[in-house]
Structure 1
Amino acid sequence: MRTLIASLLMTIISATLHAQTNRIDLIRPDAPELARFGAYDIGVRTLEVTDVDRPDVLNMRRDEETPLYQRSLTLEIWYPAQLAADQTPGTEYQTPTRNSAVTATLHGRAVRDADALQDPGAFPLIIISHGYPGNRYLLSHLGENLASKGYVVVSIDHRDSTYEDQQNINSTLYNRAMDQRFVLDAIAGLADVSDHFLHGVVDSDNTALIGYSMGGYGAVNNLGAGYSDAGVGFIAAPPNGLLNELAASNPDFAGSIDPRIKAGIPIAPWGMNTGFWDADGLAGITVPTLFVAGDADTTSGYENGIKAVYDGAVNSDRYLLVFKNAGHSAAAPIPLPVEFLDREDTTGAGHYTDPVWDTLRMNNILQHFATAFLDLHLKGDADKATYLDVIEDGAEGVHAINPNGEARPEHTYWKGFGQGSAVGLKLYRN
Structure 2
Amino acid sequence: MLVRLSAILALLVPLLAFGAPAVGMHRLELADPLDDGQRLSAVAFYPAQGKPHSTDVDLYHVDAGDDAPMADGHFPVVLISHGNGGSPLAHHDLATALARAGFVVLAVQHTGDNYQDQSRAGTFSNLYGRPLQLSAAIDAAASDDLLAGGLDTERVGVIGYSAGGESALILAGAQPTPERLQDYCRQWPEDRDACGRGGELIVDRDDLSAFADPRVGSVMLMAPLGLMFNRKGLEPVKVPVLIYSGDDDRILQLEQNAGALVRRLPSPPDFRLLPGAGHFVFMAPCPQALHAVAPHVCQDAEGVDRAAIHEQLNDEAVRFFSRTLADPQAPFD
Q: TM-score range by the shorter chain?
A: 0.7 to 0.9
Hey, what does 2:222 align to over in structure 1? 267
Structure 2 counterparts to residues 61-76 of structure 1, below 5 A: 68-76=35-43
Given candidates 138, 142, 158, the residue that maps to 1:184 is: 138
Report SS of the residue matched to 1:280: helix
Hey, what does 1:322 align to over in structure 2? 273
- Write out per-residue CA displacement over residues 227-277 of structure 1, whole angstroms, 9 at most, x where no aligned residue: 11525988442316738612xxxxxxxxx52221000101111141xxx11
Give the aligned length: 294
Give 1:239's aligned amino acid. V
Given candidates 39, 44, 50, the residue that maps to 2:31 is: 50
Does residue 351 of the first structure (1) align with residue 303 of the second (2)? no
Q: Which has the higher contact order (CA 8 A, sep 6+)?
A: 2
The answer to whether the 8 Å contact 2:178/2:201 transfers is: no
The answer to whether the 8 Å contact 1:132/1:214 transfers is: yes
Give 1:173's aligned amino acid. L
- Write out per-residue CA displacement over residues 100-150 of structure 1, whole angstroms, 9 at most, x where no aligned residue: xxxx24142x221111112xx310001111111111110000111110010
Q: Distance in 2 between matches of 1:75 and 1:116?
A: 17
Structure 2 counterparts to residues 31-430 of structure 1, below 5 A: 39-40=19-20, 41-51=22-32, 54=34, 68-83=35-50, 88-95=51-58, 104-108=59-63, 110-118=64-72, 121-167=73-119, 168-170=121-123, 171-188=125-142, 190=143, 196-228=145-177, 230-231=179-180, 235-239=199-203, 242=206, 245-246=209-210, 256-272=211-227, 276-314=228-266, 316=267, 318-330=269-281, 332-340=282-290, 348-356=294-302, 357-379=304-326
Q: Distance in 1 between matches of 2:287 and 2:25?
A: 21
- Write out per-residue CA displacement over residues 314-362 of structure 1, whole angstroms, 9 at most, x where no aligned residue: 2x362111101211113x2111221255x5xxx5212133214122112
Report SS of the residue matched to 1:211: strand
- Write out per-residue CA displacement over residues 27-59 of structure 1, whole angstroms, 9 at most, x where no aligned residue: xxxxxxxxx9963221111111113x52xxxxx
- Write out per-residue CA displacement over residues 359-412 of structure 1, whole angstroms, 9 at most, x where no aligned residue: 21121111011011111111269xxxxxxxxxxxxxxxxxxxxxxxxxxxxxxx
Cα distance, 1:80–1:376 mapped onto 2, change above 3 Å: same
Aligned CA RMSD, in angstroms, stands at 2.5
Per the normalisation by structure 1, the TM-score is 0.63
Percent of matched pairs sharing the same residue: 27
In structure 1, runs of 5+ residues without a counterpart are 1-35, 55-67, 96-103, 247-255, 382-430
The answer to whether the 8 Å contact 1:174/1:243 transfers is: no
Q: Distance in 1 between matches of 2:287 and 2:256?
A: 32
The answer to whether the 8 Å contact 1:352/1:359 transfers is: no
- Write out per-residue CA displacement over residues 263-299 of structure 1, whole angstroms, 9 at most, x where no aligned residue: 0101111141xxx111100122100010111122122
Q: Distance in 1 between matches of 2:287 and 2:57?
A: 11
Report SS of the residue matched to 1:143: helix
Q: Distance in 2 between matches of 1:321 and 1:243?
A: 37
- Write out per-residue CA displacement over residues 156-177 of structure 1, whole angstroms, 9 at most, x where no aligned residue: 1112222222233325323222
Report SS of the residue matched to 1:179: helix
Runs of 4+ in 1 over 6 A off after TM superposition: none
